Amino acid sequence: MEMENNGSPLTKKWGFRANPDLNMASDNTVRGVLYMLLSKLNRSDTRPVIPLGHGDPSAFPCFRTTQVAEDAMVDSIRSAKFNGYGPTVGILPARSAVAEYLSQDLPNKLSPDDVFLTLGCKQAIQTIVTVLTNPKANILLPKPGFPYYEAIAKSCNLEVRHFDLLPEKDWEVDLDSVNALADENTVAMVIINPGNPCGNVFTHQHLKKVAETAKKLGILIISDEVYAHLVFGKNPFVPMAVFASIAPIITLGSISKRWIVPGWCLGWLVINDPNGILKEHGIIDCITAYLNISSDTPTFIQGAIPDILSKTKEDFFVKIVSIVKEAANICYEGIKDIPGVICPTKPEGSMFVMVKLDLSVFEDIKDDVEFCVKLAQEESILILPGISVGLNNWLRVTFAIELSALEEGIKRLNAFCVRHSKKP
């Protein structure tokens, strides 16, 4: 029995207790929800589980990272130069390499001092949310979004307000809702581009409007670009930092998605602020302070970064993007024929797409959670219910998996929906 028992002899005797807030916070993360669905799988189903719930194709051979990256890691380890502690902000060669890599897409060159290395993008998120926390402050998060932001904000007691992404406008930011939500205590807004969970890619024009809105409201922009360059539709990837002269931009990124190595946990938090506003407001010092009391990315992984970033060949990226593009296509086209699920926009970036449920089609399914639980139980497919990303009765579908597995998944999804449809 894991629940605390108030007034029982046990609680009286010991001074320590559980922390129920933590349990609640973790259950609502993507990881937490997927664990729940995993527990629903039917063990006697011998078919392979089709993972359409998380953003991690690394298990599939066609998505294996480039040999260049593996070699860089091995070289770093064998050099024995990187077994010790590094500076809290990251070792200089790695920071320089990230600065150079990101500067390729920017009008102004980044300095290594603008780059902070973090233990995956997760720690980058933890860092910036914690740094911006103050009593009375609030942060604007997109809905639908990436629930880790909500979890961290909650653990910091930072108030969250949600603005909408508009499905009828390719999931653009509803700038009117941003304007309505912000007040003098608003510190920042988060955008995720390419979009998780929507699979959209913002246009240059739209990003400029977002920057102008931020400036008007006196807030900074946290641009989560963990899926940078994973674009395959009509809109090119435009880094938010292009607009850094309008409003301060903090870019979050990592090698996890572009190199398909989420298990290496190397991320970054980059300051794009030519006007020095963040520095003036003590934000930079505060970032360093947080990293000072937190763990770091292992030094040997940092040691591999210069080679990983400079030596990876273009054709590795082209290959990955083309597989993901084809997967997006298979997913989009396949869903068109499935009763009860509607994909309003063709995905053009990241690894995900939002799919709407038409519950009126189904006999015995009342919401997205029930849909996903039954789907796991009956068809051994894992899909994330939209409630976990902020849109009830939608689904977040991951299409970036091996293509034959995806096709099998679409087939089983169809069988499920047909089976549960109301009979005419």
Partner 1 sequence: MGKQEEWGFKENHELHAAAGFTIRNILESIIGNIDQKRSGKPMIHLGHGDPSIYPCFRTSVSVEDALVESIRSANFNCYPSGIGIDPARSALAEYLSKDLPYNITNDDVFLTAGANGIEVLLTVLARPGANILFPRPNYPIYEARARFSEIEVRHFDLLPDKGWEVDLDGVKALADKNTVGIVVINPGNPCGNVFTFDHMKKIAETARELGILVIADEVYAHLVFGEKPFVPMGVLGDMAPVLTLGSLSKRWIVPGWRFGWIAINDPTRILQQTGVVASIKSCLTISADPPTVIQGAIPSVIKNTPKSFFLNINKLLKEASDLFYEKVKEIPLVTCPHRPEGSMFAMVKLNMPAFEDVVDDTDFCMKMAKEESVVVLPGDVVGLKNWVRVSIGTEPKVLEDAIGRMKVFCLKHAKH
Range 264-323, binding partner 1 (CB under 8 A): 264-265, 277, 280-283, 285-286, 289-290, 292-301
**Residue of 52, 68, 99, 219 that binds partner 1 (CB under 8 A):** 219
Q: Please identify, among the stretches 129-137, 172-180, 236-244, 406-414, the one whose residues bind partner 1 according to the rule CB under 8 A.
A: 129-137
Cβ at position 341, least distance to partner 1 in Å: 26
Pick between residue 26 and residue 422 the one whose CB is nearest to partner 1. 26
* CA 206 to chain centroid: 20
Cα(36)–Cα(33) distance, integer angstroms? 5
Residue 151 binds partner 1, judged by CB under 8 A: yes
Give the sign of the dihedral formed by CA 6, CA 10, CA 16, CA 21.
negative
Cα(65)–Cα(48) distance, integer angstroms? 23
Pick between residue 73 and residue 241 the one whose CB is nearest to partner 1. 73
Cα(75)–Cα(356) distance, integer angstroms? 47
Q: Please identify, among the stretches 62-70, 348-356, 377-385, 406-414, the one whose residues bind partner 1 according to the rule CB under 8 A.
A: 62-70
Instruction: Count CB neighbours of 189 within 10 A.
Output: 25
Pick between residue 26 and residue 322 the one whose CB is nearest to partner 1. 26
Check: CB of residue 135 under 8 Å from CB of residue 173: no
Check: CB of residue 214 under 8 Å from CB of residue 247: yes
Residue 377 binds partner 1, judged by CB under 8 A: no
DSSP per-residue codes, 308-351: HHHH--HHHHHHHHHHHHHHHHHHHHHHHTSTTEE--S---BSS
**Residue of 26, 108, 111, 179 that binds partner 1 (CB under 8 A):** 26
**Residue of 37, 54, 242, 396 that binds partner 1 (CB under 8 A):** 54
Cβ at position 49, least distance to partner 1 in Å: 14
Q: Kindly state the number of chain residues that form the binding site for partner 1, as judged by CB under 8 A.
A: 93
Cβ at position 123, least distance to partner 1 in Å: 4
Check: CB of residue 52 under 8 Å from CB of residue 399: yes
**Number of continuous H segments (helices) and E segments (strands) in the chain:** 15, 13
In our burial notation (b when 16+ CB lie closer than 10 A, e otherwise), range 38-61 reads eeeeeeeeeeebbbbbbbbbeebe
Cβ at position 309, least distance to partner 1 in Å: 17
Residue 122 binds partner 1, judged by CB under 8 A: yes
Residue 56 binds partner 1, judged by CB under 8 A: yes
Within 69-98, the residues that bind partner 1 by CB under 8 A are 70, 73-74, 77-78, 80, 82-86, 88
Pick between residue 201 and residue 226 the one whose CB is nearest to partner 1. 226
Q: Which residues contact 23 (CB under 8 A, 6 or more apart)?
A: none
Cα(168)–Cα(161) distance, integer angstroms? 22
Pick between residue 214 and residue 309 the one whose CB is nearest to partner 1. 214
Q: Which residues contact 213 (CB under 8 A, 6 or more apart)?
A: 175, 178, 179
Pick between residue 261 and residue 372 the one whose CB is nearest to partner 1. 261
Residue 10 binds partner 1, judged by CB under 8 A: yes
Q: Please identify, among the stretches 182-190, 229-237, 311-319, 404-412, the one whose residues bind partner 1 according to the rule CB under 8 A.
A: 182-190
Residues across the chain: 424
Residue 3 binds partner 1, judged by CB under 8 A: yes
Residue 65 binds partner 1, judged by CB under 8 A: yes
**Residue of 53, 90, 120, 253 that binds partner 1 (CB under 8 A):** 120
Phi, psi of 113 (to 5 degrees): -65, -20
Q: List the 50-52 sheet strands across, edge first.
A: 50-52, 381-385, 394-398, 352-357, 341-342
Phi, psi of 183 (to 5 degrees): -140, -165
**Residue of 7, 13, 360, 363 that binds partner 1 (CB under 8 A):** 13
**Residue of 130, 213, 254, 414 that binds partner 1 (CB under 8 A):** 130
Beta pairing, strands 186-192 & 220-224: parallel
CA atoms within 13 A on the CB side of 279: 9
* CA 418 to chain centroid: 32
**Residue of 37, 52, 94, 123 that binds partner 1 (CB under 8 A):** 123
Pick between residue 5 and residue 360 the one whose CB is nearest to partner 1. 5
Within 248-267, the residues that bind partner 1 by CB under 8 A are 248, 260-265
* CA 18 to chain centroid: 29
Cβ at position 45, least distance to partner 1 in Å: 22
Residue 119 binds partner 1, judged by CB under 8 A: yes
